[in-house]
Structure 1
C-alpha cells in the first residue's frame, strides 16, 4: 500500500464529503494527520459520520461555521464546491492552501500517470487509453473524474502499474505539485462558466495539467483547436500534436489510414467507434498509448471492437426501425453539436437541463437534420427560441426525460434517430448525467 509521505501538512480540513471526500479523509487519518471534515448537506445521523468518527476524524455537518478553519494548515476541497463558498473564501483570505484530492493521489503514485482533460471527450479518450495499454500487456488502472476515486486507486497501485486519470477543470484547479508523465489536452470550449466565471480562468485551470511537467514528460494536444494550440505554447513538456486535418509529428490521418508519426496504425474503415469527434479522441488516445509503450496489436484490437462508453453517444436500441441513442454526457453545446454531426438521417433531439446563463445559438448550424425537438428542464424556453430560429416547427415540451422518450416516439417515423443529447448539465432535475441517461434507457426499453 502506497504511503502519503511527501505531505508536510499536519492539520487538514476536508471540505465536502461525497465519495472522494470520505476516501481522502480516511487516507489522511491513516497517514497520521489530524483531520476535520465539514459538509453542509450530510445529516448527523448519516452512517458515514459514525464511520469517520470511528476513524478518529472530527466531523462537522449541517452548516459551514468559519471556526472549522481554526488550527487548519490546508484545505482539501471537493471539486464541485465553488470558491465563493464561505469557508473557501475565508481560507483564501487567511492564506491557507486549497487543494483537491487529485493532489493527494499524485503524491501517492510512484509509477507512470497519464492525465486526460478537455471540454469534451475525456471519458471516451481515457477509456480508450486504458484499454489500449491493458491490451498491450501492461498493468493499468483507471481513475479520477471517470468514477473511481483517484486517491483510492493510487493508494493501492502496484509498482510500475500505469494510472490513467480523467481530470476535470474543477479537480485541476486544486493542485500544487501534481504532474502526469503524459498529459492530454483534447479541446477547449466555453464550459462551466458559472463556476470559473471567464473562459480565460477555465482555460488556465485546464492548463494546470501540464503546469508542472518538464521536457522529460509529454503533452499530447489538439493541433486543430486554436485555443489549445495557443495555451500550450509555453508548456515545458515535449509536445506531441494530433490532427484530423494535416500531417503532424504526432498522430494524424488521411482519407484512408491513421498514423502515429510515420507509422501506420490502422485503416479508418476498420475503426468501430463512429463520429468525426471520436476520431479526434482516437488520435489523442493512440498518441498517449504509444508514448506509454502500447503495441500496435493492442491498439488495433481496441479500435476494431470498442463502440463507445455508456451515456456517450451510446446506441441503446432499435424499435420499429427508430434508432435510439443516449448521449446524456453531452452537458454543453459543443458535445451536442458533435453528436448531431454524427448523423445524416432525420433526427428528433431531446434536450434541456440546468440553465447556466448561456443561449444556444451556436447549435443552429448543426440542426439541419433535426425534424423535431422535445424539450425539458430549465433551459426549455431558450432551446425553443433556438429551434424556431433554425426553422424547426415541431417543438414539444415535457416534464422529464422519461416523458420525452414517449413524446419523441409518438412523432417519429421509420429510420428516424431519437437522440438524447441535452446540451446542459443535469442538476436541475437529476443528481447526475448518469441518472438522466439511465432514465432515458429505461424508458426506451419500456417502449419495447
Structure 2
C-alpha cells in the first residue's frame, strides 16, 4: 500500500461521499488517519456507510451540523459542494484547510502526473493522451473527472506507470501542494458561473493547474485562446504552445493538410479518424503531452487513425434508415454545442435542453443555420424555443422524455440528416449525470431500431 506523503493532517472531515469522497475516506483510513464523514443524503444503512464505519470512520448523515468541525484539522470535500455552504464558511473562519481528493492523489503518486483541464475537450484530450502512451508501450492510468477517482488510481499505480488526470475547475480549487509534471490548459470560456460567480474566479480556478509548477515542469497551452495566453504568463514552468493558426518552433501546430510537432510531420489530416474541426485542438494538446512523455510519432499517428471519440462526446451511435445518430450528452454548455454543430454540414435535428442556470442562448443562433428542427427537453425548453424561432428553425417541438425526443427527432428527419443530442445544458434537472442522459439517448435510439 502506498503511503500519503507531505499530508500533515491527522483528523480529517470527508464532506460528501459519492465516488471521490468514498475513495478519499478509504484511503485516509488505510493510512491510519482519524476520519469523520458527513453526507446529507446518504442513509446510515447504506453499504458504503457501513463499510467505512467498519473501517473506523465516524459517519454523520442527514444534515451538516457545525459540530462536525470540532477537532478537525483538514477537510476533503466533494468538488460539487460550493464554498458558500455555511459549514465551509465556518471552516474557513477557523482556518481549517479545505481540499479536494485530487490533493490526495498528488500526495500518493510517485510517478509523473499529466493534468488536463479546460472548459471543453478535457475528456477527449485525456483519453487521447493515455491511448498514445499505451500505444507506445508506456503503462498509464487515466482518472480524475473521467473514469474513477484520482486517489484510487494513484493508489493502484504500478512501478513507472504514469497518471493522466482530467481535472475540473471544482477539483482544482481544492489543491494545496498538488502539481502535475505536465499541465495542459486547453481553453477558457465562460462556464460554471453559477458555482464560481464571476468569470475571473473561474479563470483563476483553471489556472491553478500550474500554480505549483516549477522550471522542472511543463505547461502545454492553447496559444490561440487569448484568455489562456494571458493566464499562463505568470507560470514558472516551461511553456509548450499549440496552435491551429500559426507555425511554431516549439509545440504542436497544423496547416491545411497536416499536423506537426515542432518541425516533424505527425499525420496528414485526411487520415485522422476523430470527427470535427474543434477536435484538432484536442489532438494538438494530446500530441504535446505525449511527446513530452516520450511517445513516438508512430504510436501517436496510430492512435489518431483509429480513435473516433469518447462516449457521450460527439459519439456516433448508429445509422438508421440513412439517419446518423450522434450522442454529445457531455455538451453541458453553449460552446460545446456550438462546436458540435460546426462538425456537420448536412441538415441537423438537434435535441437540446436541460438544467436552467439562468443564462440565455442567443449565442447559439449563428450555429443553427443547418438545423432544420429542434426537439427540446428539460427546464430550458422555453428559452431554447425562443432562440430557435428567432434563428428561423423550421420545426420546434417540446417533449418530456428522452424516448419522446428521439421519436420526434426521427419523425422530423429525412435521408442523410443528422440527429444530434447536444444539450447545451447540464443534466441535473432530469438526470443524475450527463452519462445517464447519454445512455438514455442511446437506449431510445436502439429502441427505434
TM-score under structure 1 length normalisation: 0.99
Q: CA deviation at 1:5?
A: 3.0
Alpha-carbon deviations, 1:256-307, whole Å to 9, x = none? Answer: 1110011111111111101011000000000100001001111011000000
CA distance in 2, matches of 1:426, 1:88: 26
Give the aligned partner of residue 227 of structure 1: 227
Alignment of 1:349-388 (within 5 A): 349-388=350-389
8 Å contact from structure 1 (residues 2, 157) kept in 2: no
CA distance in 2, matches of 1:5, 1:422: 42
Give the aligned partner of residue 87 of structure 1: 87
Q: CA deviation at 1:134?
A: 0.6
- Runs (5+) with no aligned partner, structure 2: none
Give the aligned partner of residue 204 of structure 1: 204
CA distance in 2, matches of 1:343, 1:69: 52
Q: CA deviation at 1:324?
A: 0.5
Give the aligned partner of residue 188 of structure 2: 188
Give the aligned partner of residue 174 of structure 2: 174
CA distance in 2, matches of 1:103, 1:220: 21
Alignment of 1:78-227 (within 5 A): 78-227=78-227
8 Å contact from structure 1 (residues 6, 107) kept in 2: yes
Q: CA deviation at 1:19?
A: 1.6
Alpha-carbon deviations, 1:22-42, whole Å to 9, x = none? Answer: 111111111111110000010
CA distance in 1, matches of 2:289, 2:169: 20
Question: Are 1:261 and 2:256 counterparts?
Answer: no
CA distance in 2, matches of 1:379, 1:105: 37
8 Å contact from structure 2 (residues 105, 151) kept in 1: yes
The SS at the match of 2:306 is coil
CA distance in 1, matches of 2:418, 2:22: 42
8 Å contact from structure 2 (residues 19, 148) kept in 1: no
The SS at the match of 1:276 is coil
CA distance in 2, matches of 1:228, 1:74: 32
Give the aligned partner of residue 327 of structure 1: 328
Alpha-carbon deviations, 1:110-162, whole Å to 9, x = none? Answer: 10000000000000000000000010011111110002111111012123211
Alpha-carbon deviations, 1:147-189, whole Å to 9, x = none? Answer: 2111111012123211000000000000000000000001111
Q: CA deviation at 1:313?
A: 0.3
Give the aligned partner of residue 436 of structure 1: 437
Q: CA deviation at 1:400?
A: 2.0
Q: Figure out how many residues of one structure are paired with residues of the other and give that number.
A: 448
Give the aligned partner of residue 307 of structure 1: 308
Alpha-carbon deviations, 1:337-378, whole Å to 9, x = none? Answer: 000000000101100000111111111111100011000100
Give the aligned partner of residue 289 of structure 1: 290
- Runs (5+) with no aligned partner, structure 1: none
Alpha-carbon deviations, 1:190-237, whole Å to 9, x = none? Answer: 111110011110110100100001111111111111111111111111
CA distance in 2, matches of 1:49, 1:270: 50
Question: Are 1:11 and 2:22 counterparts?
Answer: no
The SS at the match of 2:374 is strand
8 Å contact from structure 1 (residues 13, 36) kept in 2: yes
The SS at the match of 1:258 is strand
8 Å contact from structure 1 (residues 380, 397) kept in 2: yes
CA distance in 1, matches of 2:138, 2:396: 50
Question: Are 1:70 and 2:70 counterparts?
Answer: yes
CA distance in 2, matches of 1:215, 1:403: 55
CA distance in 2, matches of 1:196, 1:224: 24
Q: CA deviation at 1:86?
A: 2.0
